[in-house]
Amino acid sequence: MLVRLTLLCLLLLPFGPSADVGQSSYWVVVVNQQSGLTQLSQKQVMSLFLGRAQFLPSGPRAKTFDYPIGSAMRANFYLSLTGKNIADIDAYWARLRYSGRASPPEALDSVEQIIETVSKEKGALSYLPANYAKGLADKGLVAVLTMRSL
């Protein structure tokens, strides 16, 4: 038994955790300019990103966009937003996805893609690192919540 357990652990060692971490000092939650929103509470943002609320307070159906699975930015944002380890968030979405109830936010590859996508969809919602906080209006975005990074 012990030999088998040891072998199993050795086989899995190459999957060691990533060393990089999110660098942003705070996060800016952004929505499309046409959403009719100027601010959201942290509780509202949490409900939207966890799929518990389906609509923005102003009416449109919410569509959340996220960074790739495994990215340090994503892990830090959810820690800042919910206080939870990203593994708990991933487990939470696994519960929803494999029970057929809901799908997690769509993942996009870069900050630029996030900005472009949110600026095109009325109900879109996502988050940006601090160094992208300036000039949002020019990009068709509105910052609705600023949140300190943990």
Partner 1 sequence: MDEKTARLATQRLFRQLTALGLLALPASCFADEPSKWHFNGFGTLSYTNTSKYDDRIIRRNVNQSGAAVQDNGFLLDSRLGLQAKWNISDRLELTAQAVAREQLDTELLDYVDMFYLSYFIDDQWRFSVGRQAFDLFFMSDYHNTGYSYAWVRPPTEFYGTMPYQSFDGIKISRDWGDFDSSWRWRLSLGNIESKFDADVMVESDDIDSTEAKPIFSTELGWQSGQWHLRGSFAHMRFKHELGDETEREALQMLSDEISPFWQDFSGIVNEFTEDFILRIWSLGASWEQDDWHVQGEWSNVDSDIITFDGQRAYLQVAKRWQNWQPFITVGYAKDDSEVRYGPPPPGVPVLTEFYEEMVNFSHNMRHNQKSISLGVRWDFASQKALKLQCDRYYFDAWSGSIHGRVDFRYPNDEIRSWCTASFDWVF
Contact residues for partner 1 (CB under 8 A)? Answer: 1, 4-5, 8-9, 12, 15-18, 41, 43-44, 47, 52-55, 57, 61, 69-70, 83-88, 90-92, 94-95, 97-101, 103
State which residue, 109 or 137, has the beta carbon closest to partner 1: 109
State which residue, 42 or 146, has the beta carbon closest to partner 1: 42
78/133 Cα distance (integer angstroms):
18
- Nearest distance, CB of residue 61 and partner 1, angstroms: 8
State which residue, 107 or 133, has the beta carbon closest to partner 1: 107
95/147 Cα distance (integer angstroms):
27
State which residue, 39 or 131, has the beta carbon closest to partner 1: 39
Strand partners, 30: 126, 143
- Nearest distance, CB of residue 85 and partner 1, angstroms: 6
State which residue, 46 or 130, has the beta carbon closest to partner 1: 46
- Nearest distance, CB of residue 137 and partner 1, angstroms: 26
- Nearest distance, CB of residue 40 and partner 1, angstroms: 9
- Nearest distance, CB of residue 135 and partner 1, angstroms: 29
Question: CA torsion sign, 50 to 51 to 52 to 53?
Answer: positive
**How many other C-beta atoms are found inside a 10 Å radius of the C-beta of residue 145?**
18
Question: CA torsion sign, 112 to 116 to 119 to 124?
Answer: negative
**How many other C-beta atoms are found inside a 10 Å radius of the C-beta of residue 144?**
20
**Contact at 8 Å (CB) between 36 and 124?**
no
